[in-house]
Structure 1
Amino acid sequence: MVGNGQLCVHAVCLASYVYTLYFSLRYIGEGDEPYVYLFSYRGFAGKFKYMTFLNVLLQTFYFGLSLLNDLTGSYVKPSDNGGRKSKLQSFLDVVLASLAYPIGVFVVMTFWAIYAVDRELVYPKVLDALIPQWLNHAMHTTVLPFLLIEQYVVFHDYPARSKGISILLAFGFAYLCWILWIAYYADLWVYPILQLMETHQRAIFFLVLLAFFITIYILGEVINKALWRKEYACKVQQKRKTKKIS
């Protein structure tokens, strides 16, 4: 059964991301015409070349489906003893574990880490006149507390680690190919920090980031199991009973 707290969290998070997207699309560009710069903002591929923007789309998608699941799907935990999960709930478990949580945390951590060293490498000062501070934090800060609250409020049955990490690395590899293609085709490095590196340095940098992806995934799984110890204990007991019966 879905609680009011869970429903409220999903509604607030969705509203926040929807407004963030609306404001970004409507007002953040390089001219007076709204929405035109979605595909041309700061060069080839527009806003779709930035992981920050892709993450906002992902979080909006996730919390939108979560609210839909609250209203029409299911919220079954192992302690419910035999409750049947909807396909939507199972899908959301995988999306949260493999994409929404690790990518969201990755965006926040890497952005502010590079910003602390040299903001010009990730968020040049010229953007201050273009992007309001609240929007910057909506895209690069509040993502983390939203996801931590989600982990605390909603039980998510993590998939097998090999499956979850495989999905995450597939995304990471696809995005890597995307920004390398942009660099080759349009002679444009999406992030200034990459332009300053030699080829071997970029390779090492990418490998470190992929390792960071995996670390975030595992820590997310650890946090989930720590918050929902009783549910995982019930899950283990159910598996043992199933084995005895079979």
Structure 2
Amino acid sequence: MSVLPAFYHLLVFIFLAYSLTYNLLNVKDDPGTGMFTYRGYGGKFKFLTFWLFLLQTFYFGFCLVNDIFGSNSRPSQSKRFHPSRLQRWRDVLLSSVVFPVGMFVVCTFWGIYFVDRELVYPKKLDKFIPSWLNHVMHTTILPFLLVDMYIVYHHFPTRMRGLKILMSFACSYLVWILWVAYHANIWVYPVLQIMAPHERVIFIAVLIALFVSIYLVGEGLNKFLWGKERRHYQVMLGKSRS
């Protein structure tokens, strides 16, 4: 077992699990914010941030399980690269969903927030969501993942496979918020409510393109951090085919 990754994943998992528990037990009611209601149809599951909160907590818990029962193999550590099944699942989860969605949430939330926070996080939410919890949901996501990518080698899947998984996730959430809008007459985010139908189509198309771009950023970051390992793997792959 690698001590540093296990220790890091344990600390982050405990912190996220505590924050998630606090969110579930204490952040319940809508203080008259209109669209931002945790009650009613869908509850907190209307929000991508909450999906990510659950996903990220699960991911770091899964990393810890892999640290103990799986492997943290690198191509340069042996003549044949054979990561455990847990490690393979962990790497696909990070590269295809957790990192792209995490970076997407941070970029879009703070980007819209600094233009007009009422469109994404009305001031009234400050009365019942502590500032520290807001940052757990919208800020610390990215540094937690960047540190993880720095201290642990992640073997990314092929670009086509990774993008298929990411687009499946993105389309699932898109279908969900459109269903909520149709069935319950609730636009999860006020920025969508004020748009005309054609503007929503363009906005969603731009966000999907942003998802793809962020995936490529994660892939490039992995190459930058672990370029030697990736080149070593390509050499191994070439030898096995010859």
What is the TM-score of this pair, normalised by structure 2?
A: 0.95
Structure 2 residue corresponding to 1:50, chosen from 42, 47, 50:
47
Does structure 1 retain, via aligned residues, the 8 Å contact 2:81–2:233? no
Structure 1 match to 2:68: 71
Structure 1 match to 2:97: 99
Would you say 1:19 and 2:18 are equivalent positions? yes
Does structure 1 retain, via aligned residues, the 8 Å contact 2:19–2:133? yes
Structure 2 match to 1:110: 108
Task: List alignment gaps of at least 5 residues for structure 2.
Answer: 31-36
Deviation at 1:88, TM superposition (A): 0.8
Instruction: Extract structure 1 runs of 4+ deviating beyond 4 A.
Output: none
Deviation at 1:76, TM superposition (A): 1.0
Report which stretch shifted further, 128-137 or 75-84: 75-84
Higher relative contact order (CA 8 A, sep 6+): 2
What is the one-letter code of the residue matched to 2:76?
Answer: S
Question: May I ask how many residue pairs the two structures share in their alignment?
Answer: 235
Q: What is the rounded CA distance, in whole Å, between the counterparts of 2:54 and 2:177 in structure 1?
A: 18
Deviation at 1:207, TM superposition (A): 0.4
Deviation at 1:86, TM superposition (A): 1.1
Does structure 1 retain, via aligned residues, the 8 Å contact 2:96–2:162? yes
Structure 1 match to 2:33: none
What is the one-letter code of the residue matched to 2:62?
Answer: L
Deviation at 1:167, TM superposition (A): 0.5
The one-character-per-residue Cα deviations of 1:166-221 (angstroms, maximum 9, x if unpaired) are: 10011111100100000000000000000000000000000000000000000000
Deviation at 1:83, TM superposition (A): 4.8
Does structure 1 retain, via aligned residues, the 8 Å contact 2:52–2:102? yes
Does structure 1 retain, via aligned residues, the 8 Å contact 2:2–2:72? no
Q: What is the rounded CA distance, in whole Å, between the counterparts of 2:83 and 2:191 in structure 1?
A: 45
In structure 1, the residue corresponding to 2:157 is in which secondary structure?
coil
Q: What is the rounded CA distance, in whole Å, between the counterparts of 1:65 and 1:138 in structure 2?
A: 19
Q: What is the rounded CA distance, in whole Å, between the counterparts of 1:144 and 1:128 in structure 2?
A: 22
Structure 2 match to 1:30: 29
Percent of pairs identical after alignment? Answer: 49
The one-character-per-residue Cα deviations of 1:2-23 (angstroms, maximum 9, x if unpaired) are: 4322112111111121011100
What is the one-letter code of the residue matched to 1:231?
Answer: E
Structure 2 residue corresponding to 1:233, chosen from 200, 209, 231:
231
Q: What is the rounded CA distance, in whole Å, between the counterparts of 1:14 and 1:149 in structure 2?
A: 14
Structure 2 residue corresponding to 1:215, chosen from 213, 216, 227:
213
Q: What is the rounded CA distance, in whole Å, between the counterparts of 2:238 and 2:10 in structure 1?
A: 37
Deviation at 1:66, TM superposition (A): 0.5
What is the one-letter code of the residue matched to 1:164?
Answer: G
The one-character-per-residue Cα deviations of 1:10-42 (angstroms, maximum 9, x if unpaired) are: 1111112101110000110129xxxxxxxx824
What is the TM-score of this pair, normalised by structure 1?
A: 0.93
